[in-house]
């Protein structure tokens, strides 16, 4: 019998917190630039739509990786619902359809507000749910997963939700969007570095399997430090974000010292850094 705890496991709650963080960042930027036109209704719909899409992607990953054999007994990450028999394939499909439907319902009003460009964004997001880990040429299996999460969690989530509130598009918003996007890419890298052995066995060629462990860890460190480097050209921020630099450096050092299941702790800590970055950034903007 499928239990509530099994569904909770399958939704990957830590990734949902990351989704909330990036929408919060986009909405805070909008509130700072256009406080009198800010709509809490739009903000809530953005969060629901983003979370629904993220849950759909997580369930889709669970489904397709379980069906294709990517998730085997040698998996080092958290248990997958289909692999462990916690949720049936049929129920996972229904879950994916339900979350996509919720995204469509909430996204319909966002399309009305944002215009026809958001029809394209919506279609690309829904297609992404499928092609990220499913279909004949999954993005995750061809080294494009990191590009996908940067575009979705960085530019689309932050800049896209910002535009819905302000009806304006400025180059300045792409800096904070890129900063948080690079950190989310770092999360993806940790996940894929941990799974290099099992991914190679199942012929899933992520960016990490193509680069190898050492080069992937070097890239992780670059992704972790880039947000602080970009503060030089960030018109929204002062020096307060430098307070997180010791945390970033500590994560880079830890990355070179960890392997295998130890990277699960690295994954959790990198996810926390995304929340810290978005949270400190938001608080700084709100109290000015």
Between helices 13-33 and 174-194, what is the axis angle to 10°? 170
pLDDT tens profile 257-275:
999 889 999 999 999 999 9
Dihedral of the CA atoms 251, 253, 255, 256 (nearest 10)? Answer: 180
- Residues 101, 130, 50, 160: is their CA dihedral positive or negative? negative
Per-residue pLDDT at 1? 45
Rounded-to-integer distance, Cα 154 and Cα 180, Å: 6
Average pLDDT over residues 242-251: 95
**Residues 70-85: pLDDT tens digits?**
655 555 556 677 777 7
Model pTM score: 0.91
| Range with the largest mean pLDDT of 78-82, 132-136, 175-179, 198-202 | 175-179
pLDDT of residue 271: 92
Looking up tokens 């990786």, which residue turns up?
65
Q: Given a cut of 60, is residue 120 above it in pLDDT?
A: yes
Backbone angles phi, psi at 205, to 5 degrees: -95, 80
């Amino acid at each position: 019998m499928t239990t509530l705890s099994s569904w909770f496991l399958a939704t990957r709650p830590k990734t949902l917190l990351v989704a909330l963080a990036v929408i919060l960042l986009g909405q805070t930027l909008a509130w700072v630039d256009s406080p009198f036109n800010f709509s809490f209704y739009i903000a809530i719909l953005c969060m629901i739509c983003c979370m629904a899409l993220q849950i759909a992607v997580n369930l889709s990953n669970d489904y397709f990786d379980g069906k294709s054999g990517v998730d085997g007994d040698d998996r080092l990450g958290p248990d997958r619902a289909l692999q462990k028999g916690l949720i049936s394939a049929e129920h996972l499909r229904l879950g994916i359809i339900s979350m996509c439907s919720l995204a469509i319902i909430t996204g319909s009003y966002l399309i009305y507000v944002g215009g026809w460009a958001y029809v394209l964004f919506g279609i690309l997001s829904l297609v992404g749910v499928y092609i990220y880990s499913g279909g004949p040429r999954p993005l995750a299996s061809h080294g494009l997963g990191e590009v996908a999460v940067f575009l979705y969690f960085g530019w689309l989530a932050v800049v896209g939700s910002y535009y819905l509130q302000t009806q304006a598009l400025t180059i300045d918003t792409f800096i904070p969007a890129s900063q948080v996007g690079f950190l989310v890419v770092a999360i993806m890298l940790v996940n894929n570095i941990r799974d290099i052995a099992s991914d190679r066995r199942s012929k899933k060629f992520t960016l990490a399997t193509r680069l190898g462990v050492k080069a992937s860890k070097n890239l992780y460190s670059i992704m972790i430090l880039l947000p602080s480097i970009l503060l030089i050209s960030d018109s929204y921020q002062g020096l307060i974000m430098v307070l997180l630099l010791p945390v970033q450096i500590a994560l880079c050092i830890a990355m070179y010292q960890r392997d295998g299941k130890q990277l699960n702790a690295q994954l959790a800590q990198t996810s926390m850094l995304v929340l810290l970055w978005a949270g400190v950034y938001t608080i700084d903007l709100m109290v000015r």
